[in-house]
């Protein structure tokens, strides 16, 4: 069972129709999104109520269940799910109203963040709800993701790689539209921690040095370095994302 903890925005912030800033952490399942989100939370990103433990991630996936439930509902209403994405999901008026109500629950937050891989499938709707939404992204070697998904839910490799491609193609599409930081979870620990701290500074979070405190290498399973044997389009997309990540913050 997941455990959840609520962190509160700074005292004295005025209430409004929603948070002053909204940050989405975007990435495929099992790709380091939890680690990045936890790092940014440690640096002062307000997440609301989020999961801090589950059987496959001892530090929790850092997801706010209300956002996950909203995304699941939209996917289901479009005839799909996280592992069977609909081709062109549509937000209905009721979905938009639910999203606005969810943001209103965090009125007064200076900067609210949320992480849910499903958001990549539905992100055009979020841009309609909150046009100035900010984005950060992360990706991971496709074989490492496939092995992790097989370990967690016995997902066949072919399906896992197809999902990796679907989600990360959406990540690259959003990047090309908006130019935001994209980190690679395959980096050496010291480099990843440094990049997380730089990202916290870029986001103007209040406790930037603490971004490096969350990462624990012992929690990271499945590392891959070779792309041999991958479908060509998966190799190509991984190479494109590596190019993006090497640009760092200077490419934003």
| pTM for this predicted structure | 0.88
Encode pLDDT of 203-236 as tens digits.
Answer: 999 999 899 888 777 666 667 777 889 999 999 9
More confident residue, 217 or 75: 75
**Percent of the chain whose pLDDT exceeds 70:** 87
CATH number for the domain spanning 32: value is 3.40.50.300
Q: DSSP string covering the chain, please? A: --EEEE--PPTTPPP-SS-SEEEEEE--TTSSHHHHHHHHHHTT-B-SEEEEEBTTBTT-----HHHHHHHHHHHHHTT-BTTB--SS----HHHHHHHHHHHHTTTT-SEEEEE-GGGGGSHHHHHHHSTT-EEEEEE--HHHHHHHHHHHH---HHHHHHHHHHHHHHHHHHHHHH---EEETTS-HHHHHHHHHHHHHHTT-TTGGGGGGS--GGG--------TTS-HHHHHHHHHHHHHHHHGGGG-
- What is the domain range of residue 67? 3-251
**Interval 5-41: pLDDT, tens:** 333 333 333 334 899 999 999 999 999 999 999 999 9
Decide which of 159 and 152 is more confident: 159
Question: Which tens digits make up the pLDDT trace of 154-171?
Answer: 999 999 999 999 999 999
How many distinct structural domains can be found in the chain? Answer: 1
């Amino acid at each position: 069972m997941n455990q959840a903890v609520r962190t509160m925005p700074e005292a004295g912030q005025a209430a409004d129709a929603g948070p002053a800033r909204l940050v989405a952490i975007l990435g495929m399942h099992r790709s380091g999104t939890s680690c990045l989100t936890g790092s940014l939370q440690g640096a002062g990103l307000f997440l609301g109520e989020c999961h801090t433990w589950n059987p496959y991630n001892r530090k929790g996936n850092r997801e706010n269940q209300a956002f996950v439930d909203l995304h699941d509902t939209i996917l289901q209403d479009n005839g799909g799910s996280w592992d069977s994405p609909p081709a062109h999901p549509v937000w209905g008026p009721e979905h938009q109203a639910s999203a606005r109500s969810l943001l209103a629950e965090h009125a007064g937050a200076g900067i609210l963040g949320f992480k849910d891989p499903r958001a990549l499938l539905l992100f055009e709707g979020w841009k309609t709800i909150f046009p100035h939404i900010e984005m950060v992204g992360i990706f991971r070697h496709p074989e490492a993701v496939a092995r992790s998904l097989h370990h967690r839910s016995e997902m066949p490799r072919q399906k896992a790689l197809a999902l990796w491609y679907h989600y990360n193609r959406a990540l690259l599409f959003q990047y090309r539209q908006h130019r935001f930081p994209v980190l690679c979870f395959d980096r050496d620990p010291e480099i990843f921690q440094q990049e997380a701290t730089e990202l916290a500074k870029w986001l103007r979070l209040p406790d930037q040095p603490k971004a490096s405190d969350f990462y624990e290498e012992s929690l990271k399973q499945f590392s891959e370095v070779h792309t041999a044997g991958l479908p060509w389009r998966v190799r190509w997309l991984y190479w494109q994302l590596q190019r993006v990540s090497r640009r760092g913050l200077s490419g934003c």
